[in-house]
Structure formats: C-alpha cells, structure tokens
Amino acid sequence: MNINIFQPELRDEELAAVREVFLSNWIGKGPKTDAFEEAFAKHLDVPHGQVRSINSCTEGLFSAMQLLEVGPGDEVIMPSISFVGAGNAVRAAGAEIAFCDVDPRTLNATAATIERKITPRTKAVVIIHYGGYPADMDGILTLLSDQGVALIEDSACSVASRYRGRACGTFGDIGIWSFDAMKILVTGDGGMLYLRDRELAERAASINYLGLTSGSGFSSGVDRRWWEFDVEVFGRRSITNDVASAIGLVQLEKLPRFLERREEVHKAYDEALGHLPWLTLPPALPDDCTSSYYFYWIQMEPATRDALARFLRERSIYTTFRYFPLHWVKAYGSTNETLPGCEAAAQQTLCLPIHQGLTDNDIERVVESVRAFGEG
C-alpha cells in the first residue's frame, strides 16, 4: 500500500455539510461562505471584514499584484524556493522577479537575503513560511518598514503557524492561504486573503468578483431595474462557493486535531531518525513560534538524497522536494544567477510523508525503510 506525502482527511461530517448545502438549493457563494470567512478571521484573530475568500492561493497572489498595483517597471523580491504560482503572478503583472536566497536549513528568506536584492524599483516582497516554519518576521518587518516596501505573505504552508503569538500571514500588507487538496485544511480548491488595510479589503471583494459594484436583485436593495450594474475595476471571477465553504467550516473545527497528529508524526521522526549520522533533521522551532507541520524535511549529501528517494519510492513510500528553485526555471529568465542557500537546499533536502492520516504503522514503515537504506 502506498504511503502518500500529503493526504486530506474527509469524513461523514463533511458529507453532511455538503448535503445541507445541496438541500438549500444554493451552491454558489452565500451564507456558508460568509460563515467560513468569519470563522477563519476568528482563527487568525483579525477583524472579519479584512478576510476575503478566494478560489485558490494562486489566484490570491494574482489579486495581490493587482491590489498593490504591481506592473511594468517594478520588481518583486521573492525567495527562489517558492511555489510557481507566485512567480507566475509577478510575471503576469508585467513586473520583474528579483530572486533572493534562503537560509539553507529553514529554507526561509531572511532580512539579510532580502536586503541584498532591494533596489529603487522594488515594489513588494513575497515570502513563504517554509513547511509551516515561521520566517524571522522581526527582521523582515523592520527592513521593509524602513524601505517602504509592501509585504505579501504566501501562507499556503502555514494555516496555523504563529510567530510570537501572532498568526503568520497577518504581519504584512496581504496574507494568502491555500485549501487545495494537498493542504492541511482542505476544501478541494480554495483559499483566503487577509488585507491589513480595510479599503484594500473592500477593493479585493470587488476585483475578485469581476469589478461589479452591485449585488443580486434580492440583496442590492434596488427596487427598479436591479439588473443594471457598473464596473469599477477590471477583475476576474475569483470567488469560492458554499459547497467548498461548508467543507472548510468542518475542516476548521477539526484543525486542532489535525495539527496535534502532525506534531506527533514530526516528533516520532525526530526521535527515530535523530541518531542517524548521515542525515540532518529539520531545524528546531524557536520557543516563541508555532509550526503547522506541513513539511518534514531531512537533509544529506546530494547523491545520498537522490538514492534515498528512489529507495523509498520502490517501497511505495512517496517523497519529494518542495520547492524546485524558480531561478533555475528558464521562463523566469534568471538561470545564470547563483543563490548558494537555495541551491544547497535543493540538492540536499527531501520531504518525508507527513499528514494526519498516517498511522503508527505507516510511521514505523517509513522509519524502518530509511534505516534500512542507511544500513545498506
């Protein structure tokens, strides 16, 4: 039986929630989506009006570029160890990407690696919290505040991560979360936007629904020619729906249990693999931080890493490396650049299976397979 690196947990509770939506005869964006936005805002400890649902984290990144008016002539700094959606959003906006390096152990951008890339053309910085491990927000915020540069937090990996007690994704101008099929909290596809500025939050609601300024005939309050409308900005249809949101509400209730199990898996790997001299475990989490435990990554010599990945796959244990460095992707035009931290991480890092559905037997199978490889 295969052991997947990521795997959602969906049960009868989610089916019952979807059935309720079906029976309502309204499956589009409606009361369930409003409730999900409100519940997620409470989860983040931020005002409800500053959280907006979207149909994917990638669409949120595209929206962020439009909201911050990123365009031709601008540069956006982002770590090369990032998801391709972020790179596509910058380039689609007509801006240039300035790839920065990462700490080779945490795989997060730092204030120092970002500072080396800042120029007068820098409009924004995109960071991730790698695998749910919070970036050093104090240093990054101080740097960007001094420079007057906007911050976008791609928080796809960090649905429950906190830095000094504050939710990751709520430090910058815009935070974005993903609920796709491989995440911890899943809705099939979907995501959330946090916008620090209330006016920007209202603008986000508009651009994510075609720039329309009016609601439906029942909700608009207009009693004559309610079908007339105006467009205030050229937006896309980036909204989610009540089917996805009903699932999300149930998943959000289950999130504490999901995180508890993922932490157990993380600790089990630490205890079982920590004595192996040929691999390095993930860095220890600072005392004032909380992880979402989205990735569990080990590091070793490049040839050993590749051989271990093949060895495990032959035993139906899937591993991977997230994320392939974007400065090595020709489409972004930076293939001649050298970023030592990113490149070391990309050659040495392997992500092991970690999700709330792993059984104790699954963990033991992964551990014994890694040990068997080392003994071979």
Instruction: Give the pair of three-digit tokens for residue 175.
Output: 């935070």
Calpha distance 141→85 (Å, rounded): 23
Sign (positive or negative) of CA dihedral 126, 131, 136, 141 = positive
Tens-place pLDDT, residues 257-274: 999 999 999 999 999 999
Sign (positive or negative) of CA dihedral 172, 193, 248, 8 = negative
Q: What is the DSSP letter of 160?
A: T
Tens-place pLDDT, residues 183-198: 999 999 999 999 999 9
- Homologous superfamily (CATH) for 256-375: Aspartate Aminotransferase, domain 1 (3.90.1150.10)
Q: Tell me the CATH class for 12-252.
A: alpha beta
- What pLDDT is recorded for position 211? 82
- What pLDDT is recorded for position 215? 61
Is omega for the bond preceding 269 within 30 degrees of 0, making it cis? no
- What pLDDT is recorded for position 376? 79
Range name among 79-93, 153-167, 224-238 with the lowest pLDDT average: 224-238
Residue 349: helix, strand or coil by DSSP?
Answer: strand
Residue 233 — very low, low, confident or very high, per pLDDT cuts 50/70/90? confident
Q: List b or e across 341-352, with b for residues whose CB sees 16 or more CB atoms inside 10 angstroms.
A: bbbbbbbbbbbb
Residue 129 — very low, low, confident or very high, per pLDDT cuts 50/70/90? very high
Does residue 217 surpass a pLDDT of 60? Answer: no
- What pLDDT is recorded for position 112? 98
Residue 218 — very low, low, confident or very high, per pLDDT cuts 50/70/90? low
User: How confident is the model over 316-321, as a mean pLDDT?
Assistant: 98
Does residue 333 surpass a pLDDT of 70? Answer: yes
Contact 160, 177 (CB under 8 A): no
Q: For residue 185, which of 285, 94, 255 has the smallest C-alpha distance? A: 255
Residue 358 — very low, low, confident or very high, per pLDDT cuts 50/70/90? very high
Range name among 95-109, 231-245, 248-262, 279-293 with the lowest pLDDT average: 231-245
Indicate the average pLDDT of the chain. Answer: 95
Residue 200 — very low, low, confident or very high, per pLDDT cuts 50/70/90? very high
Range name among 67-71, 79-83, 102-106, 218-222 with the lowest pLDDT average: 218-222
- What pLDDT is recorded for position 232? 84
- What pLDDT is recorded for position 221? 62
Residue % of the chain over a pLDDT of 70: 97
Where exactly are the structural domains of the chain? 12-252, 256-375
Does residue 306 surpass a pLDDT of 60? Answer: yes
Tens-place pLDDT, residues 167-177: 999 999 999 99
